[in-house]
Amino acid sequence: AIVLGIESSCDETSASICIDGEIKSNIIASQAIHANYGGVVPELASRAHQQHIIPTVDQAIQQAKIHKNDIDAVAFTRGPGLLGSLLVGTSFAKAFALSRRIPLIEVNHMQAHILAHFIEEPKPNFPFLCLTVSGGHTQIVLVKDYFDMELLGQTLDDAAGEAFDKTAKILNLPYPGGPLIDKYAKEGNPDAFKLPEPQIADLNFSFSGLKTAILYMVQAQEKINPDFLQENMADVCASVQSRIVSILLNKLKKAANLTGVKDIAIAGGVSANSGLRESLLAMGARYRWNVFIPKFEYCTDNAAMIAIAGYQKFLQKDFVGQDITPLARMHV
């Protein structure tokens, strides 16, 4: 079966073709415009999706060397995300399915981040634990089956990606700051600045205290030395990154101990972070976990994860009607 996947939940317009469970194309049009505003501007995102969706889908079809008449089903991100952005992908998918008389499949974006692990070998075995860390979410999920997932813990305030991006803003780095902090951190000393670890007993997370601690630390240092940031960027980034990573991995270790599950995965945009990837590998070796880390292109938003999730739903004949509407909030 040939499934077309459409992703438009935030600021990436993406289309992908999946043939019998194999990804043949994954075209991503990013929106550079938001860098000027220090964050995603919803109205501008919707407009850019509207401009990008047709050429992105055309390119995905071309690169997969198929004809649009060959497509058997269309899967789209129903939510969670920005409603105006979701509406573009949803409306496109509905129109495409209606005009071609093919089934329509709704996909949960947070489930899709996790299901990106089924694009290529090695694939995790059910049940596995997934730490999903992205721009809007931080979750520890017990994945029992493709679409049977239990939320064990989540952030009480900022998401991990938000912690990176908001810290970057304090450090005068452009949006999105996560990849830049990662880059500077490679040259820095992670023990240069002491940052607090929140004391939360269960499997939930909190990152807002860390953000405030960084702000106060930078302000205090700048009173002494106005060039503090320029001179210490690598050390500050390394310290911040190492604290975010330790907060994430300590909870993941706790979840692994509580559940006894040994297949451990990470997913979402922040799983592209090199510090997180390295530390997880080290922790996995130490505790004899089977660790699953997605390829970089399947960490941040992409339609391949929507197409692969859609393919699984296609096999289960899990289709939706034309009355389907997008949802800004959805549970895993």
By CB under 5 A, residue 106 contacts Mg ion: no
Q: Give the residue with the Cβ less far from ligand ATP, 10 or 102.
A: 10
Q: Which stretch binds Mg ion (CB under 5 A): 8-16, 82-90, 149-157, 223-231?
A: 8-16
Instruction: Provide the residue type at 32 as one letter.
Output: A
Residue type, 24: K
Q: Which residues are annotated as a binding site for Fe cation?
A: 109, 113, 301
Q: Which is nearer to ligand ATP, 114 or 142 (CB)?
A: 114
Q: Shortest approach of ligand ATP to residue 77 CB, angstroms?
A: 9
Closer of 25 and 273 to ligand ATP (Cβ):
273
Where on the chain is the footprint of ligand ATP (CB under 6 A)?
9-10, 80-81, 109, 113, 134-137, 161, 164-165, 176-179, 182, 268-270, 272-273, 300-301
Of 218 and 332, which CB lies nearer to ligand ATP in the complex structure?
332
Cβ(9)–Cβ(31) below 8 Å? no
Give SS3 for 33: helix
> Which of 305, 274, 322 has the alpha carbon at shortest distance from 15?
305
| The two three-digit tokens of residue 59, written as one number | 């390119």
Residue nearest to ligand ATP (CB): 269
Residue 169's Cβ-count burial label (10 Å; 0-12, 13-18, 19+) is middle
Q: Which does 272 bind (CB under 5 to 8 A by kind): ligand ATP, Mg ion, Fe ion, none?
A: ligand ATP
Tokens, residue 87: 């509406």
Could you say which of 11, 162, 165, 182 contacts Mg ion (CB under 5 A)? 11
DSSP result, 149-205: EEEEEEBSSS-HHHHHHHHHHHTTPPSS-HHHHHHHHTTS-TTSS-------SSS-B
Annotated binding site for substrate: 132-136, 165, 178, 182, 273
Q: Which residues bind Mg ion (CB under 5 A)?
A: 10-12
